Amino acid sequence: EAGVAQSPRYKIIEKRQSVAFWCNPISGHATLYWYQQILGQGPKLLIQFQNNGVVDDSQLPKDRFSAERLKGVDSTLKIQPAKLEDSAVYLCASRGTSFGETQYFGPGTRLLVL
Amino acid sequence: GENVEQHPSTLSVQEGDSAVIKCTYSDSASNYFPWYKQELGKGPQLIIDIRSNVGEKKDQRIAVTLNKTAKHFSLHITETQPEDSAVYFCAANLRGVTGGGNKLTFGTGTQLKVEL
A55 to B31: CB separation less than 8 angstroms, yes or no: no
A105 to B45: CB separation less than 8 angstroms, yes or no: yes
Compute the distance between CA of residue B112 and CA of residue B114 in angstroms, rounded to an integer.
7
Q: Which residue of B has its CA nearest to A30?
A: B100
A103 to B45: CB separation less than 8 angstroms, yes or no: no
B89 to A43: CB separation less than 8 angstroms, yes or no: yes
Is residue B21 within 8 A of residue B8, CB to CB? The reply is yes
Which residues of chain A make contact with B23, given a CB cutoff of 8 A? none
Which residues of chain B make contact with A30, given a CB cutoff of 8 A? 100
CA-nearest of A54, A10, A18 to A33 is: A54
Check pLDDT > 80 for residue B98. Answer: no
- Which of B31, B43, B103 has its CB closest to that of A106? B43
For residue B11, name the pLDDT band (cuts at 50, 70, 90): very high
CA-nearest of B39, B24, B38 to B92 is: B24
For residue B97, name the pLDDT band (cuts at 50, 70, 90): low
Strand pairing report for A75-79 and A65-68: antiparallel
Best of B102, B103, B110 to disrupt the A interface (most A CBs within 10 Å) is B102
pLDDT tens digits, one per residue of B50-92: 988 889 999 999 999 999 999 999 999 999 999 999 999 999 9
Name the E strands within chain B.
Answer: 4-7, 10-14, 19-25, 32-38, 45-51, 56-59, 62-67, 72-77, 86-94, 103-106, 110-115
Neighbouring CB atoms inside 10 A of B2's CB total 16
Check pLDDT > 90 for residue A7. Answer: yes
Check pLDDT > 90 for residue B18. Answer: yes
B44 to A43: CB separation less than 8 angstroms, yes or no: yes
Compute the distance between CA of residue B28 and CA of residue B25 in angstroms, rounded to an integer.
8
Check pLDDT > 70 for residue A100. Answer: no
pLDDT tens digits, one per residue of A73-95: 999 999 999 999 999 999 999 99
Length of chain B: 116
Residue B71: exposure state from Cβ atoms within 10 A (0-12, 13-18, ≥19)? middle
* One-letter identity of residue A90: Y
